[in-house]
Structure 1
Amino acid sequence: MVRVENLHRSYGTGAAAVHALRGVSFDIPRGELVALKGRSGSGKTTLLNLVGGLDSPDDGRITIDGTDLAELGENGLLELRRDRIGFIFQSFGLIPILTAAENVGVPMRLRKADPEEREERVALLLALVGLADHAAQRPGELSGGQQQRVAIARALANKPALLIADEPTGQLDAETGLAVMELLRAVVRSEGVTALVATHDAQLLGLADRVLELSDGEIIEH
């Protein structure tokens, strides 16, 4: 599903250059949940941004479901991010003035999905994440764990092939974080999604099919 080959990414030039990634390579089979661990500054977010098509590498190759990202123009990358990849962020990223249901429906509005199809999908996803009774509530009326569940539902709206999550439990307490990670694990199985999740929580790492460890921009452990 995901193939990363000899990925390099640096910021700045000359002696001041920061080498965020140094020759990173790995594969992720379809339907697997892979956890990415490493200290702050190890290159996790840079790697997620590259795999998600939000940034471009200096060297190397990324293939998502057979599509080489380097061969896509800006419009192609936009379509890939909209239709094939779901993003989950530590800060939830919900729109405050919209209800939970409206937040989940945003990606389907962007691709101009049929309204009836959209409403059915939103109801299904809110039920999947255990928030069917909270559809009309706005983010400010929900707990942190509930907001992250809405964000997971939104990430699944367009039936993505790949989920990318950057420290999705970073703002949650340990118990809530574990519940959210277990939900992600269940979603990967039920929806047939592949997931790449950056986390530093050892308890959460145990739920992954495989763990990749980054240190100073290099994979040091599978």
Structure 2
Amino acid sequence: MTESTGARASTALVDDPASGPMVRVEDLHRSYGSGASAVHALRGVSFEIARGELIALKGRSGSGKTTLLNLVGGLDSPDEGRITVDGTELAGLGEKQLLELRRDRIGFVFQAFGLIPILSAAENVGVPMRLRKTRSREREERVQLLLSLVGLADHASQRPGELSGGQQQRVAIARALANRPALLIADEPTGQLDAETGLAVMELLRAVVRGEGVTALVATHDAQLLGLADRVIELSDGEITEH
């Protein structure tokens, strides 16, 4: 084997979605503004997440957690650095391809739940599958399965306003799993919940990672919840300070 052939083979192995990490972040930089007033949200961040891991992203407000989640989820672009998700480098994707990546391979859970008020719990969970044009019967079966998974099978017809905060977040998690994503990104998913409910939601995420075979990156500042993660990555002023 020649040197060049060996190099190509090595690269192919690293970029093989089945053998490489779920997420690879390399020397990531992101700033907002310019000149003396520029805010450096991320400064040379690098890490990898193995498939099936639940990673907690820790840091104070303003440390760069949300910026990092937005970049990994393809919602924003870095100034410098590379992001690879499930074997795909994000920088090489057009807007349509990024949209498809977010729809089909990444699930998002936000602190504010983000449910559609006029839709029932079941209808909210089904929205991503409607966008994907999933067949009606398959969609209904998946919705029923997911609501059972998050313990809300008996609340399928209720609207968000009729559910508690913890129940709404469970619906949001079920919706994030609708299209069987490879990666689940959660930004302070327990931030609006009391301690007991927040712990229950984090335990649910832990169970989902195991049961659905999903990789998860979860931003949280709750020390009690950090213990449920496989690893903790701590950010401070846009840099990793503990890994």
- TM-score with structure 1 length normalisation? 1.00
- What corresponds to 2:199 in structure 1? 178
Q: Which runs of at least 4 in structure 1 moved beyond 4 Å after TM superposition?
A: none
Matched, 1:139 2:156: no
2:96 to 52, 55, 75: 75
Residue 128 of structure 1 deviates from its aligned partner by 0.1
Q: Which structure's CA Rg is the greater one?
A: 2
- 2:132 corresponds to: 111
Alignment partner, residue 45 of structure 1:
66
Q: 2:145 maps to what in 1?
A: 124
- The answer for the alignment partner of 1:92 in structure 2 is 113
C-alpha displacement of 1:127: 0.1
Please list every run of 5 or more consecutive structure 2 residues that lacks an aligned counterpart in the other structure: 1-21
Partner of 1:208: 229
Mapped to 2, the partners of 1:7 and 1:63 lie a distance apart of 12
1:8 — aligned with what?
29
**How far did 1:148 drift?**
0.2
Q: Which amino acid aligns with 1:104?
A: V
Task: Spell out the pairing of 1:139-178 with structure 2 (5 A cutoff).
Answer: 139-178=160-199
Residue 186 of structure 1, CA deviation? 0.1
Residue by residue, what CA displacement relative to the aligned partner does 1:161-196 show, whole Å, maximum 9, x if unpaired? 000000000000000000000000000000000000
- 1:30-63 alpha-carbon deviations (Å, 9 max, x no partner): 0000000000000000000000000000000000
Residue 49 of structure 2 is aligned to residue 28 of structure 1: yes
Deviation at 1:159, TM superposition (A): 0.0
Rounded to whole Å, the distance in 2 between the matches of 1:38 and 1:28 is 18
Residue in structure 1 matched with residue 240 of structure 2 by the alignment:
219
Find the aligned partners of 1:215 and 1:39 in 2 and give their Cα distance: 7
SS of structure 1 residue aligned to 2:197 = helix
* Partner deviation per Cα, 1:139-171 (whole Å, 9 max, x = no partner): 000000000000000000000000000000000
Whole-Å Cα distance in 2 between the matches of residues 186 and 175 of structure 1?
17
Find the aligned partners of 2:40 and 2:85 in 1 and give their Cα distance. Answer: 24
SS of 1:93's equivalent in the other structure is: coil
Identical columns (%)? 88
Q: Aligned with 2:189: secondary structure?
A: coil
SS at match of 1:77: helix
User: Aligned with 2:31: secondary structure?
Assistant: strand
Specify the alignment match of 2:76 in structure 1.
55
Q: CA RMSD in A?
A: 0.2
Residue 8 of structure 2: aligned partner: none
Q: Does 1:188 align with 2:198?
A: no
The structure with higher relative contact order (CA 8 Å, sep 6+) is: 1
TM-score by length of 2: 0.91
Counterparts of 1:171 and 1:66, CA distance in 2: 34
